[in-house]
Structure 1
C-alpha cells in the first residue's frame, strides 16, 4: 500500500550581521548580533522562512536560491545545510530542504504581492515569537546552534569529478586532450546553476581538457578565469595533492575543484574525510571553518521529485 504523497520544497534561513542602532547607544549582545529574514503570507496570515516548490527538472539547492529571490528580492548563496522539515499539508506530506543562506549583492526592491505581502529582518529572539509553526521554530533552533558554534559562517569548497568523457580505448590522441561526450557536456551545463547557488567565484581545475570543460561554461557565465593546477592531475602524487588542498582551504570565497577519480581519494584524505565513490559530473560540498570541516553534502544535478 502506497504511503502519503510527498511534496518537495526548498528554502533557507537567510541571515546577516545585526548592527547597533546609532540613536540611543543600543548595545547588541553576542546572541543578538545576527538577524534572520522572515516572510508573511497574507492568504495564511503566517510568518515563516522563505521557501517554495521546484520547477520541473530543478535541483533543490537551485530551488532554494530562486524561491528566496522571488519571495524577498534577495539573491543569496547557500552555506551549511540545515535539517529537513516534514509536516502534513493538504494532499500529503511536505518535505522542505533548508540551508543557511547569506545575501550577496544589492537586493531588488520588494513589492508586496498576493503571495508575500511583507518581509522582515528580526533578531533571533523576535523570530522565535513571530514564527507561526513549530517546525519553523525547530529549524530556527538548529540555526541558533550553528550560530553559537560560529558554524553559520563557513567557507565553501566543492570537490567535483569531471563529467563523462570519451573512453581511453576510443580516443587516439593525447590523454590530456580527451574530451567530454555529449552526455558529459549536458552534465556540465546542468552544473552551472548549482555552482551559482553556492556562490562559487573561484575555479580550480586539473590541466586535463575533460576537467576544464566541465567547469568552463560556468566560468564564462561569471567572467572568471580557470586556474589550472598540475597538482590535481591524474598523474599526481599524494603530497602534491595535499599541498594544493591546504592552499585551497585557506582561500576566501566559495571555490570549486575539478579533478579525476584516481585523485579523489587523496583529496578526501587531505580534508580528513572518508573516501567516497563519485559518479562523473558529481561531487561533494565541503563546508569548513578555519580548516575544520563542519558539514559535507552531495553536489550534482538531481531533479527534485514532484
Structure 2
C-alpha cells in the first residue's frame, strides 16, 4: 500500500512573485498539512517522498515530524516529471509503505498514462483536491483498491 498526496493549498500562482518552485503553503495549506497527520493516523508510513518544491515539502513536514521520518525529494514527483517513470516507481518495491506528495498536473498525467495502459490503479484525472489523499492498496487486488480522502479542512 502507498499514499498519493496532492500538495496542500498554496495560494494563486499569479500572486506569487518568486520562482514557482519556492511558492509556500497558504495558511489554509498549513492547516491541511496538519490535517494530513490525523488523516494518516494508523497507516504505516515508512518513507516520505516529495516533489522538490517548497509547497510539497511543507505538506509532508508535519507528518514527518509526527512519525519521525525525513522528507526526501524525488524528481519523479516534480511538475514536469514523466508519468511513465512515476508509474513504474509506484509499481516497484520502493512504493510499499511510502507517501508521495506531488502536483495536480502530475496526478492527472499519471491517470491518463495508467488509463492508456488499461491499468485501473491511478486516481481519476481531475479528482484530487489540493491536500487530497489517495490510498492505493495493491495487495488487495487485482485490481488494486483506491480510496480517496478529501483534505481536512476542505479548501
Normalised by the length of structure 1, the TM-score is 0.44
Offset, 1:244? 2.8
Query: Which whole-Å CA distance do the structure 2 matches of 1:186 and 1:171 have between them?
Result: 20
Q: Which has the higher contact order (CA 8 A, sep 6+)?
A: 2
Query: Which whole-Å CA distance do the structure 2 matches of 1:242 and 1:286 have between them?
Result: 13
Counterpart residue number, 2:4: 159
SS across alignment from 2:34: helix
Counterpart residue number, 1:236: 81
SS across alignment from 1:256: strand
Relative to structure 1, is the Cα distance of residues 178 and 302 closer, same or farther in structure 2, using a 3 angstrom cutoff? closer
Relative to structure 1, is the Cα distance of residues 252 and 162 closer, same or farther in structure 2, using a 3 angstrom cutoff? closer
- Choose between structure 1 and 2: higher helix proportion: 2
Relative to structure 1, is the Cα distance of residues 162 and 302 closer, same or farther in structure 2, using a 3 angstrom cutoff? closer
User: Does 2:143 correspond to 1:296?
Assistant: no
Offset, 1:297? 1.0
Relative to structure 1, is the Cα distance of residues 290 and 197 closer, same or farther in structure 2, using a 3 angstrom cutoff? closer
Structure number with larger C-alpha Rg: 1
Counterpart residue number, 2:70: 225
Counterpart residue number, 1:265: 108
Contact residue 286 and residue 293 of structure 1 kept, 8 A: no
Offset, 1:197? 2.2
- Choose between structure 1 and 2: higher strand proportion: 1
Uncovered stretches (5+) of structure 2, i.e. residues with no partner: none
Counterpart residue number, 2:49: 204
Offset, 1:251? 3.2
Query: Which whole-Å CA distance do the structure 2 matches of 1:226 and 1:171 have between them?
Result: 24
Normalised by the length of structure 2, the TM-score is 0.82
SS across alignment from 1:158: strand
Query: Which whole-Å CA distance do the structure 2 matches of 1:194 and 1:275 have between them?
Result: 20
Contact residue 162 and residue 259 of structure 1 kept, 8 A: yes
Q: CA RMSD in A?
A: 2.3
| 1:60-139 matches, cutoff 5 A | none
Relative to structure 1, is the Cα distance of residues 300 and 200 closer, same or farther in structure 2, using a 3 angstrom cutoff? farther
Offset, 1:291? 8.5
Residue range with higher mean Cα deviation, 229-238 or 289-298: 289-298
SS across alignment from 2:88: helix
Contact residue 130 and residue 151 of structure 2 kept, 8 A: no
